[in-house]
Amino acid sequence: MDSKIDKAAPPALGQTGTEGKMPRYTPRATANVWTTYRFTDGITGGIGATYVGKRYANETNSNYLPSYTVANAMLSYETRHYRLQLNLYNLTNKTYYDGAYGGHATLGTPREAQLTVGLKY
């Protein structure tokens, strides 16, 4: 994305010097790629990655959140009556910043596992 602030609010309403700068929290590039493989009729596995580029934390582009990449995976077992799925997020437990608000940054989700059971009827 090649986003830029093309017209800024008057100085009395907003910050000056922001025209031509990147809007805050807008990365130049993002990507999400996934692949799955069906091992048997009932078992499927998958792995993927999410990339978010550098994002500026303010309109003057003086502070930024660094880019990051996280890896995720899933494994599911499915029958005619139910589906059991395990999702694993941030496999390497990478520390990254997900957002910045009013002078502080928030950490992204650490390694996490979610188990879902779905019933079919």
Q: Would residue 18 count as lying in a domain?
A: no
CA distances from 71 to 7, 11, 74 (A): 38, 43, 11
- Beta-carbon-side half-sphere exposure of residue 86 (alpha carbons within 13 Å): 7
Q: Using alpha carbons only, what angle is made at residue 66 by residues 62 and 71, rounded to the nearest 5 degrees?
A: 165
> Consecutive sets of 10 residues in the chain, 121 residues long: mean pLDDT of each?
71 64 81 97 97 84 88 97 97 91 85 96 86
Q: Would residue 95 count as lying in a domain?
A: yes
Q: How many folded domains does the chain comprise? A: 1
**Cβ partners under 8 Å of residue 11, min gap 6:** none
Report the pLDDT value the prediction gives residue 84, as an integer from 0 to 100.
97
Q: Would residue 37 count as lying in a domain?
A: yes
Residue 113's domain comprises 30-119
Q: Would residue 101 count as lying in a domain?
A: yes
pTM for the model stands at 0.78
Report the pLDDT value the prediction gives residue 24, as an integer from 0 to 100.
73
CB 109 within 8 A of CB 90: yes
Q: Would residue 74 count as lying in a domain?
A: yes
Report the pLDDT value the prediction gives residue 78, as an integer from 0 to 100.
96
Report the pLDDT value the prediction gives residue 42, as an integer from 0 to 100.
95
Report the pLDDT value the prediction gives residue 16, as an integer from 0 to 100.
63
